[in-house]
Amino acid sequence: MLFPGGQKIVSVIVPCLNEEEAIAGVVQELWAQQVDEVLVVDNGSIDATAANAKAAGARVAAQPVKGYGLACITGLQNVRSDAEIVCFLDGDGSDVPAYLRAIVTPVAEDDADFVMGSRVRGKRERGSMTAQQIVAGWLAGLLLRLVYGVQFSDMSPFRAMRKSKLHALGMTETTYGWNLEMQMRVASENWRILEVPVEHRARRGGVSKVSGNLFAGLHAAWKITTTFLRLAFSLKRSSPAQMSSAMDRAARKADRS
């Protein structure tokens, strides 16, 4: 992708499980943003997810062992070697790729180390997020603020960072705790953090692996809780000023443009 400071190689990782109805549209929308790579990680789908992703022009990596975090790790291991910035978003069509440049630009221009699209702060289609998802994001944000002094409003999958920094982060969570673990680790490492309000849509087909299933939702909540407890006592605490300083820099740059 081309930015005011020059070309940056941007790879987008899309973990997927049985998203045959939505994935082709997601891939096409990502190519429209002029990214350099779309890598779909097929996490054991039993439908045409992989075939439809390939037909839309994505590269597909297979990870048959189910686990959201494991799919993300597989994606990171398989992105093109010259990728400088990696992004993540879901393959169900709920994340809006048109916001990709807003997510990537602060990283590309070195105004932030970790940028996440906040669904809570942006405009949401009716039914795109359940009350449980909103409450979980609020609770995680409260705990992160108390322990690390940073402000998060969401645990959105839509995020971007430099590949080299993510490799050094030491991610280990293989299930639904992946997003929270990343937020805890970037906070503990004093990364410059920025949230960008984004639009969020209702999924474009299929069934949610979490919100559409009570057992899966409880399992995801349990994994998120245990992830927080496991890491909270082992990771160092960070500066409460880091997120506001990143936001200030991004706001000043927006005022100058």
Q: Please check whether residue 80 lies inside any domain of the structure.
A: yes
Q: pLDDT digit string (tens) for 150-182? A: 989 998 999 999 999 999 999 999 988 899 999
Higher per-residue confidence, 5 vs 158: 158
Residue 62 pLDDT class (50, 70, 90 cuts): very high
Q: pLDDT digit string (tens) for 92-143? A: 999 999 999 999 999 999 999 999 999 999 999 988 887 777 777 788 888 8
Give the per-residue pLDDT at 217: 57
User: Given a cut of 80, is residue 255 above it in pLDDT?
Assistant: no
Q: pLDDT digit string (tens) for 191-231? A: 999 999 999 999 877 666 554 555 655 665 676 777 788 88
**Cβ contacts of 18 within 8 Å, gap of 6 or more:** 45, 46, 47, 49, 206
Residue 244 pLDDT class (50, 70, 90 cuts): very low
Higher per-residue confidence, 66 vs 211: 66
How far apart, in whole angstroms, are the C-alpha atoms of residue 38 and residue 189? 28
Of 171, 156, 177, nearest in space to 219 by CA: 177
Boundaries of domain holding 178: 7-256
Handedness of CA 128, 134, 137, 141 (dihedral sign): positive
Q: Please check whether residue 2 lies inside any domain of the structure.
A: no
Q: Please check whether residue 1 lies inside any domain of the structure.
A: no
Give the per-residue pLDDT at 245: 44
Q: Please check whether residue 11 lies inside any domain of the structure.
A: yes
Q: Please check whether residue 23 lies inside any domain of the structure.
A: yes
Give the per-residue pLDDT at 238: 44
| Domain CATH for 251 | 3.90.550.10
Q: Please check whether residue 162 lies inside any domain of the structure.
A: yes
Per-chain mean pLDDT for the chain: 87
Domain count, the chain: 1
Per-residue pLDDT, averaged over 2-26, amounts to: 95
